[in-house]
Amino acid sequence: MRTLATGVAALACSLALTGGTAVAAAGGIPKYKVPTIFGTTFQADPGHDFTKGLHSRRNGILRGWITAVSADGTAEYEPIKWKKDKHTEGFFVGPPEGDVTAYASPIAKKVVFLSAFGCDSSGGNMTVDRRTGLGNKSCSRSALIKWAKAGERPSLITVHKGQIVKVQEIFTP
């Protein structure tokens, strides 16, 4: 019984230290809470000071899109939200013009990029999990950078320790 109590206490301590997330076995990246994919509000980043220039978002998953990638592999990205439309199902939008809600983080060397349209930027092959609407085709870091430069594409962007470690494209017809 004492061993069980010690194990429960150790687990509780571990969860408190990781913010209530379970650490993934591969790579040591915590499993962060996934936001609502078609959420209609921008995700908050409490405590982030946008007046201090572009810098990394806190650890977690952001529903957003990459707006630029520099030569050194740093990506600028911003939150997005789903906007319902009278004539279509809707579409994603970023912050309004003049809003400074944006971030910048280096793209990790071993970033996981899961595309919804294949690894080339042409978007010819649909590679999406039909249950979740998220990309499931694993592509290289260079494919991600090329993909990001082709235009703003809705994604779930995972940031861990100041780096982008995973980008999973959201399928939008």
Exposed e or buried b per residue across 3-12, where buried means at least 16 C-beta atoms within 10 angstroms of its C-beta: eeeeeeeeee
Q: Which residues of 119-133 are buried (b: 16+ CB within 10 A; e: fewer)?
A: bebeeeeebbeeeeb
- pLDDT value, residue 122: 60
Q: What is the pTM of this model?
A: 0.81
Q: What's the pLDDT at 121?
A: 58
Of the ranges 27-36, 57-66, 142-151, the best mean pLDDT one: 57-66
- In which region does residue 73 sit, left (phi positive, over 0), alpha (psi from -120 to 50) or beta (all else)? left
**pLDDT for 113-153, tens place per residue?**
999 988 875 656 778 888 889 999 999 999 999 999 888 99
Structure token pair of residue 93 = 């939008």
